Structure 1
Amino acid sequence: MESSEILEVSRRYVDRIDDRGELPQPVRRELFEELRALSSVDLWPGFQRLQASCAVYSWPLWREEFGEDLPFATPVEGTTWQYPELTFTEDEGELADLLSFLDDNAPVAPPNRPDAGAAGFACLHANTYALADDFLMPRDMQDTDPDADPQAWEAAVLSAMAFAGGSSLDPNTDEHARRRFWSWYLLEATPVAFATPED
């Protein structure tokens, strides 16, 4: 698919962002199913690129709070959402160490800074998706339920939480920042991530 064709599809979903600024899980799933129906190629690599792009996009929020890089699964210097290279690890033991590091240093729940913690977890999840061989989205894409295990959240959802300062179910978060993130996700990140290499 060409990026212009993808943008034509994803642009229609901007109006599906809800009053809390959230792009709900059923709507995201509908978007990917529509893209799958239009495409003649496997969409899993595009989904992996999209998750990495989201992690890169929210990464500055981690740096603002902590200043240092995580040991693994972090954007390298000069990374942008157009070039979403992360220092991915292929060692699941290192991913477990990263999870422990995040749990100890940057939980997503108050009184900690949920924006920084969510940005760190987005990198962890982008790494997890990068190592997966199969399309995990139908099982792993979760609504932003504050009682759910953060390990079940899509990297994009965590990035949205990072910008908004928490879950869309928390009335004290920034719904305008969340809406800006999902607009970026639909209008900029999705067309780039899913465009076929020859475009």
Structure 2
Amino acid sequence: MNIKTLLSHFMKSKKVEISELRAVIEQSGNGHLPLSCRVELLQSIGNVEIVNKVFAECCKKVYPLWGNEIEDTLLRKLLCSADECLYHGKGKADALVEEANRLRNYVEGQSCTESMAGWAVISLCYSIADHADAMLEIDEYEGEDDGAFEYEVWNTDFFASMAFAGGNPFVDEGDAGKRREFWNWYLDTVETLCRKSDVPLIRIDAPKKKEVEQNTIPQRTQTYQTPAILSKIQEVIDSALMLYDKDYNDKWDKIIISTRCMAVGLRAKNAVI
């Protein structure tokens, strides 16, 4: 029995479960579909290709929310490459991860909605390389929801839902109606791809080569390397040296500084600078 026949039988047996998941969405106050429900659904499919294609469709649905003109071309190229890899077998997963890592810092620095749409694409590339293990082989999973995990390990579908709804349901952000709309669309997408998985559901056009060549990733200075922070750190070092010289004559080669950020400045022990 081939994969299409198997999936056809699967969908017939899962219609009741899908309807139950729709009920969960409708009854949820914030419109969220819990991770435990998605894990159970996707694991019952058990097909890496289908799971990653569901994730790819999630990315394409929220991609228009990515609004940065400079970065737009580079992220679109990455998403198109992932789409080509999944639907046409072109390219290698390692190359997707390499490019995702190159764009990751910049994506992380964007505003909420843009960042979530960008993170969905980054997460998709990791999922392709890892054979959807974060869903299909989730380690020591005991039914926790997405909010119990650090954002670095959130799945593509959750990132996309936040982008679509405009925020994180676990901190009372975003629109519950939009989130409910997204997860119902998500279930539709799962059903559709289980019936026919060889054709993309949402089309995305690859950027022209000239567009890509004209775009570069803006360099982002780490917070601790900005002139203001470096100046504060130097003040701490100078003060520490002055205090040390009063009481000790020993030679030493490093200073360990423990500080807290406060409205009035940096507090290092009892001194505020």
Task: Report the counterpart of residue 165 of structure 1 in structure 2.
Answer: 166
SS of structure 1 residue aligned to 2:146: coil
- Indicate yes or no: 2:18 matched with 1:14: no
- Indicate yes or no: 2:49 matched with 1:45: yes
Note the C-alpha offset of 1:84. 10
Of 123, 133, 151, the match for 1:125: 123
1:65-144 matches, within 5 Å, as 65-67=67-69, 68-71=72-75, 73-75=78-80, 90-91=94-95, 92-104=97-109, 106=110, 112=111, 114-133=112-131, 135-137=133-135, 138-139=137-138, 143-144=145-146
Counterpart of 1:195 in structure 2: which amino acid? R
Which structure has the larger Rg over C-alpha atoms? Answer: 2
Q: Normalised by the size of structure 1, how large is the TM-score?
A: 0.74
Higher helix fraction: Structure 1 or Structure 2?
2
Note the C-alpha offset of 1:179. 0.4
- Indicate yes or no: 2:55 matched with 1:55: no
Q: Normalised by the size of structure 2, how large is the TM-score?
A: 0.55
Tell me the alpha carbon deviations over residues 13-33 of structure 1, each in whole angstroms, 9 at most, x when there is no partner: 100112110000111122234
Task: Report the counterpart of residue 176 of structure 1 in structure 2.
Answer: 177
Note the C-alpha offset of 1:173. 1.5
Tell me the alpha carbon deviations over residues 68-115 of structure 1, each in whole angstroms, 9 at most, x when there is no partner: 223452247xx8xxx7999986323322112122123x2xxxxx2x11
Of 33, 54, 58, the match for 1:23: 33
Relative contact order, higher structure (CA 8 A, sep 6+)? 1
Counterpart of 2:100 in structure 1: which amino acid? L
Aligned residues between the structures? 177
Task: Report the counterpart of residue 156 of structure 2 in structure 1.
Answer: 155
Note the C-alpha offset of 1:169. 1.5
Note the C-alpha offset of 1:43. 1.1
The answer on whether the counterparts of 1:61 and 1:162 sit within 8 Å (CA) in structure 2 is yes
The answer on whether the counterparts of 2:113 and 2:166 sit within 8 Å (CA) in structure 1 is yes
Q: Taking every aligned residue pair, what percent have the same amino acid on both sides?
A: 21
The answer on whether the counterparts of 1:164 and 1:173 sit within 8 Å (CA) in structure 2 is yes
SS of structure 2 residue aligned to 1:69: helix
Tell me the alpha carbon deviations over residues 127-151 of structure 1, each in whole angstroms, 9 at most, x when there is no partner: 1112224633142897332x84322
User: CA–CA distance in 2 between the matches of 1:55 and 1:86?
Assistant: 18
